[in-house]
Chain A
Amino acid sequence: MKPAQAGWLFVAPALLAIAVFFVLPVAAALVMSGTDFDIYGLADLRNVRFIGLDNYVQLLRRPLFWQALLNTLFFVVVGVPLSVAASLVAALLLNSPLARFKGLYRTALFVPVVTTVAAVAVVWRFLLHTRYGLLNYGLSSLGFSPIDWLGNPRWAMPAIVLLSVWKNFGYNMIILLAGLQAIPSEQYEVARLDGAGTWAVFRHITLPSLGPMLLMVSILTMAAHFQLFAEPYVMTQGGPAQRTVTVLYLMYEDGFKWWSLGSGSAVAFVLFLFMFGFTVLQVRVSRRWGTA
């Protein structure tokens, strides 16, 4: 047997699994997105019509799709930097030589990551409550008027961002903390001997050493943020006035709430194209960063 054949033989099981569980469903979904498959189609396949690109055209004409895209982009653009910044700050604090009870804090800050969203939602709905919430209590003691976090269309998405940052920053914090601990202490000592202040040390030693890690963290966070679903699903069900409907939420509603599996598949492919585009962009940027 030639080495190449042996190679194919070895990867065959994996390829088979990928074909059955990934390529096939994706191909089926692609075909489905060209039909009007729905509850009637489920009853009898003869009730399914091929409608070509109609699902895509209809989707681009739907104001709700653009609203969902806007909502998702807001979440990505505001949420990703906030989330990464929060992780970085937490990691720096934990890594500080002055910090005590590090193990305790590390665990405590990581707990939200492993808590189920459903349980978190119950607590946050109380925190965000307009009249009895802790957040508005704090705001009003600072002299601000209370905010109707989940009821006001303008504030609902910021509230979701807040919840999501709190829920997820612990994960990236652990990764960044590992990165910080890998920076040799000699570098810090040398910088201090040269008379560098705290900010200069952070700017010229810590940040550059963390660079690759920060890039990876932001790529992963962005990919996750594009797929926002669970938080609005449990907190607001897409409301108020559809300001927290995300692209993935739209897909779920079309496909599984209304069983319009055709148009739901179309949403999935459009989302895929968007994420693909953003990833290509990120890789380009990171290449440039790497050579600079």
Chain B
Amino acid sequence: MGREGEVASELLAAFERENPGLRVRVEQLPWSAAHEKLLTAYAGDATPDIAQMGNTWLPEFVALDAIVPLDERLRASAQVDLSDYDPGIVATNVLEGRQYGVPWYVDTRVLFYRRDLLAQAGFDSPPRDWDEWLRMQVAVKQRGGSDRYAVLLPLNEYEQLLVLWLQQGEPMLREGGRFGNFRSAGFARALEFYLSMFERQLAPRVTNNDVANVWNEFARGYFSFFISGPWQIGELKRRLPPALQASWMTAPLPGPNGPGASSAGGCSLAIFRRSPRMDAAWKLVEFLSRPPVQQEFYRLTGNLPARRSAWAAPALAHDPYAHAFRDQLDRVRPLPQVPEWERIATELRLVTEAVVHGDIPATQVAQEMDARADRILEKRRWMLDKRARR
């Protein structure tokens, strides 16, 4: 999918040389269509043998019974050792106590910031907690004036608010994913902090569509902080002018009190139940999990390897921008593992957008979101009850 799809054939040439009997046919999909396409493939009985899958998609495909647990293969494997992976990432592939995927590359959200603008505002290191971050934002905004801001929190993304909530260490759903937990104190704290950045004019009330070119605006100093993933390292290296290359850096996310958690994202490799060639598919999983192959994959795509020992590669170990990610990966937590989660998170985005535009008072968010989440989870509750009766 995306860039991975483009380089896959290059990566797989070595696999085909090792296994003369096996030919890998790669189907390239754009990210925007991949999820839909896999679901349609399931409905049309045309699933592949093996696919890369966003960690957050796994619950859905497990609910469909479309992919198989890999525990036995993992126990017997000499090549894939899950203790060489970040526990927070591995957890995203575990459903009902079984391992449904092998992490391929990892993704988490960290803070990207402008060192020079921060230094001008009197700070020489990135923030460690929320209070410090807020102080920096106020100072940056003061220097920037009315048409510049401190932080970009695009209103068409839910990740930023979710990560702030994730840092509270509370479950986001109650009773085994039957009800929403927006009534919790942690959500209230995260929401208050998130909204305060808009109220104090530290964040512009915009979506990514309005910003048009995030990198240009970051270079212009329209904002000094943004929260994003590993692909931005490559983009910023490529798109920022040489004079600005020393002026940006990454940092682990600040938390409510000291370094905070972030979301466990990335992609895993999963094998489909209808595959007639599961053994060959597993061979490919093992191949793609080898540290040297993971390093080569990083070189080709910039995707961070899931395997910790692959991080010893000089290209990664000496990349100052990657350090924040390595550090953050020790503090990642999975998002709720229910198929409905994406829909609930999208509702959260819509509700908070309405609050920022003044259509809904902030005090109603928790109640409204719990009502919406509970409605979305109705079918899941029925399914769980039905299974319990059996």
Contacts and interface: CB of A to CB of B under 8 A. Distances in A.
Interface of A: 36, 38-40, 42-44, 47, 49, 125-126, 129-130, 132, 148, 150-151, 153, 235-237, 239-242, 256-259
Given A126-B212, A241-B353, 13 more contacts: A39-B339, A47-B383, A49-B382, A129-B212, A150-B209, A236-B209, A239-B155, A239-B156, A239-B353, A240-B353, A241-B354, A257-B36, A259-B39
Interface string B218-236: 0000000000000000000
- Of B205, B209, B350, most A-chain CB atoms within 10 Å: B209
12 contacts: A42-B39, A42-B43, A47-B383, A126-B212, A151-B205, A151-B206, A235-B209, A236-B209, A239-B209, A240-B353, A240-B357, A256-B36
Contacts of A129: 210, 212
Contacts of B339: 39
Nearest to B342: A258
Interface residues of B, number: 27
A114 to B, nearest CB: 24
A40 B66 CA distance: 12
B359 interface: yes
B63 interface: yes
Contacts of A43: 63-66
A239 B207 contact: yes
B60 interface: yes
A150 B210 contact: yes
A126 B210 CA distance: 9
Contact of B350 (A235, A242, A259): A242
Given A42-B42, A259-B39, A240 B64 contact: no
A118 to B, nearest CB: 11
- Of A130, A132, A240, A242, most B-chain CB atoms within 10 Å: A240
Contacts of B353: 239-241
B212 A240 contact: no
Contacts of B36: 256-257
A40 to B, nearest CB: 6
B359 A237 contact: no
B252 to A, nearest CB: 31
A38 B383 CA distance: 12
B343 interface: yes
Interface in B331-363: 339, 343, 350, 353-354, 357, 359
B64 A42 contact: yes
B102 to A, nearest CB: 23
A237 B156 contact: yes
A216 B221 CA distance: 53
A148 B210 contact: yes
Contacts of A36: 379
B209 A151 contact: yes
B202 to A, nearest CB: 18
Interface string B37-80: 00100110000000000000000100111100000000000000
Given A239-B207, A240-B353, A242-B350, A39 B212 contact: no
A241 B359 contact: yes
A150 B154 CA distance: 14
Nearest to B36: A256
Contacts of A49: 382
Contacts of B39: 39, 42, 259
B210 A130 contact: yes
Contact of B357 (A47, A237, A241, A259): A241
A181 B359 CA distance: 52
A190 to B, nearest CB: 56
A7 B192 CA distance: 73
